[in-house]
A and B are shown apart, each in its own frame.
Chain A
Amino acid sequence: MNSFVGMPSFPEASSVAVGDAQLRHNLRKATHTIRAKRAAVVGEQPDWAALREAGAAIKDRTLRHLDVYLERLEAAVVAAGGTVHWAADAAEANRIVTDLVKATGETEVVKVKSMATQEIDLNAALADAGIRAYETDLAELIVQLGDDWPSHILVPAIHRNRAEIREIFLEHMADWGRPAPPDLKDDPRALAEAARLHLRERFLSARVGISGANFAVAETGTLVVLESEGNGRMCLTLPETLISVVGIEKLVPTWQDLEVFMQLLPRSSTGERMNPYTSMWTGATEGQTFHLVLLDNGRTSVLADEVGRQALRCIRCSACLNVCPVYERAGGHAYGSVYPGPIGAILTPQLRGMAGPLEESLPYASTLCGACYEVCPVAINIPEVLLDLRAKAVTHGHVGQRLAMGAARRVLDSPRWLAVAQRSAGRFRRWTPKRLPGPLSAWSDTRDVPVPPKESFRQWWAASR
């Protein structure tokens, strides 16, 4: 799995993506389909607004007292026969998981689709230790076989079409196990069946499974994984050892709280009344050995930010991606992180800090239309956080923006200077540059420079009165 380190800024990456007609077609089709399904199943739910309000309140309650709930979860998991590990950052989490796998003596593990393990790039860390991790989610498998990056939270291979997937299967499946049938067709059923057969023998023989979790119930120690394909529950159930890597924001206080999220999540993410399969387990189950790795990796610094902390309510449903006009055109890779789309634009700069050009550009990867806020099942006000992050990016730097704003203030302050500026702009309009020079180019890199009008309103007024 490639890591996202050293990615170009959003405008650079997205300008490539918007030129790719095939990609835009795939994205448009996929996002519009999911969008319509979601709207239908949310619309039929008479108490959606109340569920959304409860969902946000439960997450806020968790975050305000996260220390209490973390300790409670730990105690409950231990009481149910599990072992709890804590990891302050990605490196520590990878070390813990690698050591746990090594202790079993195994060199192969099966993986349930998980954002947390993507975030810490666990597969690469395991590979360095000589352990091969097999992704078992269909879309993750496509990404893994194609040595590619995920581009959507829920459908990581959304940027690929059927013909491309067929090519990837034919070319690479054999390197990872059972090869694809040579006469493989590119209809979805045939592709899914080829993947099912490719994966099936793995489930039956794997002795170590690695997963994330959608929710962790502090009160009981119960972990919850929702999925669509049924491969997840195989990996959670059949191996002798199960290791789950869970971000500390995944907690909910009580068992009862699941009655809210088991309605909000499936309807928001795949547009179904219920996802096909959900597994819930508490501690070591049916003779399994169970390890829970609690992951911080920047979450506590997000928690410390008064405006930004609402991003930690996120339940990774991806409704905001599917509805976003920017995501629909730019695609997931432009966001340079495992968290693309609107939620990624606020989560990545917060988790990593304003560390480079990518992180600084992400808060601008939005038109602030607010569609993401409207569909968010836990009411994260994404535009509000984006604006707050933009303010932070400006105080940190952006020389060009400060220069431009300073010059504009001087000109707009004085009627005489404004008249001079307008007259000369009108006179030299034929020589309007496509790109602005120096630090001002940051503005024109992503926009066409507008051609000034022939005469200003004041000139027209003076002439035609």
Chain B
Amino acid sequence: MRAREEILRRVRAASPFQSGEGDEGASVPRAYRRRAVMPRGDVIALFGERAAGRRAAVRHVAADELALAMAAMLWARDAKRVAVPAGLPRGWFAGLDGVRRLRDDPPLDHATLAETDGVVTGCALAIAETGTLVLDGGRAQGRRALTLIPRHHLCVVHADQIVHTVPEAVRRLDPYRPLNWISGPPSGGTLEILVVED
């Protein structure tokens, strides 16, 4: 406690407080771009392009093709066991034979996760300009370790989750959730992205 009082005392002694600006300080000039200036279609195309530029394999599919595309991608990797979060929509795996799903409920231990052939999740949103996925532990995503440990990550992005700029993303995200911003594959691994244009 002594250090706390001492640091705050030194800060107050040093602070060049300027009168008339309130105790939070002057407002910040925000002349930078804060919303999309592109048509929706271009934003979605830009995301695909930028994510691919970050060494992710990106496929665009219609909503009714999702299950088939996912099956094809997992088969192509010869995946036998994939980890999935508890709340993954059942429909995603319709028609998928020969791939065992390990539900993270109860939580899988680290060693089990490390031995899987990959993990399948959704995301909270995606940023087109930077080719970034953001996961927040919400629906179809699960806890953070689930996507950190496996060497392959297959992520489903719905077109309406894609924003153009970073400020739009920050505005939509909830700071009280654990957030994981991902631009590119896990280290030593691979990232595939399925963009669902519904």
Chain A interface (Cβ < 8 Å from any Cβ of B): 46-47, 50-51, 53-54, 57-58, 60-68, 70-71, 80, 86-88, 92, 192-193, 196, 204, 217, 220, 222, 229-231, 233-234, 237-238, 248, 253, 255-260, 262-263, 266, 272-282, 285-286, 294, 296, 300-301, 303-304, 306, 309
- Residues from chain B with Cβ under 8 Å of A204 in the complex: 110-111, 114, 149
A92-B7 contact given A54-B31, A280-B178, CB 8 Å threshold: no
**Which of B14-22, B68-76, B84-92 lies on the face that meets chain A?**
B14-22
Whether the pair B16, A274 counts as a contact (CB closer than 8 A) is no
* C-alpha spacing A229/B15, complex, angstroms: 38
Contact call A80/B176, Cβ cutoff below 8 A: yes
Is B186 part of the contact surface with A, judged by Cβ < 8 Å? yes
Task: Determine if B38 is an interface residue (Cβ-Cβ < 8 Å).
Answer: no
B179: A residues at CB distance < 8 A: 278-281
By a CB distance below 8 angstroms, the chain B residues around A303 are: 10-11, 14-15
User: 15 more A-B contacts (CB under 8 A) besides A50-B30, A61-B24, A70-B8?
Assistant: A64-B15, A80-B176, A238-B110, A253-B24, A255-B170, A257-B28, A259-B171, A272-B183, A273-B130, A274-B127, A281-B178, A282-B177, A285-B178, A286-B144, A300-B7
Q: Report B-chain residues with C-beta under 8 Å of the C-beta of A54.
A: 28-32
**Interface-central residue, B7, B23, B186, by most chain A CB under 10 Å:** B7
Does chain A have a CB within 8 A of B118?
no
Q: Does B77 contact A (CB under 8 A)?
A: no
Question: Is the CB–CB distance between B26 and A274 below 8 Å?
Answer: no
Q: Which of B14, B32, B144 contacts A47 (CB 8 A)?
A: B32
CB proximity of A358 to chain B, nearest CB, Å: 25
Contacts of A266 in B (CB 8 A): 130
Whether A88 pairs with B6 at a CB distance below 8 angstroms is yes
Interface of A is mostly: helix
Q: Is the CB of B31 within 8 A of A50?
A: yes
Contact yes or no, B28 A309, CB < 8 A: no
| CB–CB A58/B148 < 8 A | no
What are 28 sample pairs from A and B whose C-beta atoms fall under 8 A apart? A50-B31, A54-B32, A57-B29, A64-B17, A64-B21, A67-B11, A68-B23, A68-B24, A80-B176, A87-B3, A88-B3, A88-B6, A204-B110, A220-B175, A233-B144, A233-B180, A234-B148, A237-B148, A238-B145, A248-B7, A259-B170, A259-B171, A272-B183, A274-B181, A276-B183, A277-B182, A279-B181, A304-B14
The reply to whether B167 and A259 form a contact with Cβ atoms under 8 Å apart is yes
Minimum CB–CB distance for B186 against chain A, Å: 6
> Which residue of chain B lies nearest to A266 when distances are taken between CB atoms in the complex?
B130
- B187 adjacent to A230 (CB under 8 Å): yes
Dominant secondary structure at the B interface: loop
A92 / chain B contacts, CB cutoff of 8 Å? 3
Residues of A within 8 A of B114 (CB): 204
Q: Is A237 in contact with B32, judged by CB distance below 8 angstroms?
A: no
Report, nearest first, the 3 A-B pairs whose CB atoms are least far apart. Answer: A304-B14, A61-B25, A274-B130
Chain B contacts for A234, CB-based, 8 A = 148
Q: Which residues does chain B contribute within 8 Å of A60, judged by CB atoms?
A: 25
B196 within 8 A of A: no
* Residue B131 CB within 8 A of the other chain: yes
Residue contact A65 to B24, C-beta cutoff 8 Å: yes
B178 touches A286 (CB 8 A): yes
Whether the pair A65, B15 counts as a contact (CB closer than 8 A) is yes
Chain A residues lying within 8 Å of B24, measured Cβ to Cβ, are: 61, 65, 68, 253
Q: Which residues of A contact B25 (CB under 8 A)?
A: 60-62, 64-65, 253
A87 to B4, CA, bound (A): 7
Q: Whole-angstrom distance from the CB of B123 to the nearest CB of chain A?
A: 14
Residues of B within 8 A of A192 (CB): 188
B60 partner residues in chain A, CB cutoff 8 A = none
Quote the shortest CB–CB distance from A95 to chain B (angstroms).
Answer: 10
Taking a contact as CB atoms under 8 Å apart, the answer to whether A263 and B166 are in contact is yes
CB < 8 Å: which of A58, A68, A70, A300 contacts B28?
A58
Q: Mark B123-135, 1 if CB is under 8 A from A, else 0.
A: 0000101111000
Cβ–Cβ < 8 Å partners of B31 in chain A: 47, 50, 53-54
Is B184 on the interface with A (CB-CB < 8 A)?
yes
Residues of A contacting B182 with CB < 8 Å? Answer: 276-277
Whole-angstrom distance between the Cβ of A37 and the nearest chain B Cβ: 13
For A253, the closest partner residue in chain B by CB is: B24
In B144-166, which residues have CB < 8 Å from any A CB? 144-145, 148-149, 166
B8 to chain A minimum Cβ distance, whole angstroms, is: 5
A294 to B11, CA, bound (A): 13
Let me know if B28 and A280 touch, CB within 8 A: no
Asked if B139 CB lies within 8 Å of chain A CBs, one says no
- Across the interface, do A277 and B181 meet the contact criterion of CB distance under 8 Å? yes
Is the pair B8, A256 in contact by a Cβ cutoff of 8 Å?
Answer: no
- Which residue of chain B has the shortest Cβ distance to A205 in the bound complex? B110
In the complex, what residues of A have CB within 8 A of residue B32's CB? 47, 50-51, 54, 260, 263
Complex CA gap A417/B10 in Å reads 53
How long is the Cα–Cα vector from A248 to B188 in the complex, in angstroms? 35
A196–B11 contact, CB under 8 A? Answer: no
